[in-house]
Each structure stands twice: as C-alpha cells, then as structure tokens.
C-alpha cells in the first residue's frame, strides 16, 4: 500500500512537470536580470496556472493566490515620459 501511494505521488508530479515549459532568462531594458522559470503550457483556462488559487507550483512550492474566475481588467498602456540618462526628454 505504501509503494502504491509513493507511485501515485510520483505519477502526479510527473504529470505536473509535463504540463509546463522552461522560460529563458533575459535582461530587461533597464538592465535587470530575470532568471529562467517554469510556466504552465498555454491553454484556454486559468484554473490550472501555478499562480491560481488551489494550485501549488511544483518547482518553487509556492501556493497560488490569484482568483482564476476574476475577469482581468485591461487598461490601455500609457506612454512613460521623462529625461533619460543624457538629459533628453523621451517617451517609451
């Protein structure tokens, strides 16, 4: 019985890892390094994302906190304007 429980846990963990992909690390415009991370594969639902409530990220152990049923609010992006390191006024 104990072996069966261990096998079931291993099988579930394997399934969780198979439903994800590795995102490469990168450097942002301001020079900040973002480390590589895993993400769930794209699909038509938000309930199975690692960050959704009721889920646990198998890589980090973090518990999801985002309500998957709450509709996202999209706001048009506003240009960011200001002086750059050369004193020039620019908008991004």
Mean pLDDT of 54-81: 82
Residue 90 falls inside a structural domain: no
Residue 79 falls inside a structural domain: no
Cβ-proximal residues to 46 (8 Å cutoff; 6+ apart), any chain: 52, 66, 68
Residue 33 falls inside a structural domain: yes
| pLDDT tens readout for residues 72-92 | 776 667 777 778 788 888 876
pTM score: 0.45
Pairing, β 20-23 against β 26-27: unpaired
Residue 82 falls inside a structural domain: no
Residue 23 falls inside a structural domain: yes
Residue 19 falls inside a structural domain: yes
DSSP 8-state code for residue 13? H
Residue 32 falls inside a structural domain: yes
Confidence of residue 30 (pLDDT cuts 50, 70, 90): very high
Cβ-proximal residues to 48 (8 Å cutoff; 6+ apart), any chain: 19, 40, 55
- As beta bridge partners, residue 88 has none
Look up the domain containing 53 and give its range.
2-69
Structural domain total, the chain = 1
* pLDDT, averaged across the chain: 78
Residue 83 falls inside a structural domain: no
Is residue 16 scored above 90 in pLDDT?
Answer: no
């Amino acid at each position: 019985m104990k072996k069966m429980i261990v096998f079931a846990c291993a099988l579930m963990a394997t399934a969780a890892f198979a439903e994800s992909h590795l995102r490469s690390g990168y450097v942002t415009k301001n020079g900040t390094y973002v480390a590589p991370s895993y993400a769930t594969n794209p699909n038509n639902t938000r309930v199975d994302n690692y960050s959704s409530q009721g889920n646990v990220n198998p890589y980090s152990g973090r518990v999801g906190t985002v309500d998957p049923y709450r509709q996202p609010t999209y706001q048009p992006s506003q240009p960011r304007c200001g002086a750059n390191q050369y004193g020039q006024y620019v908008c991004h």
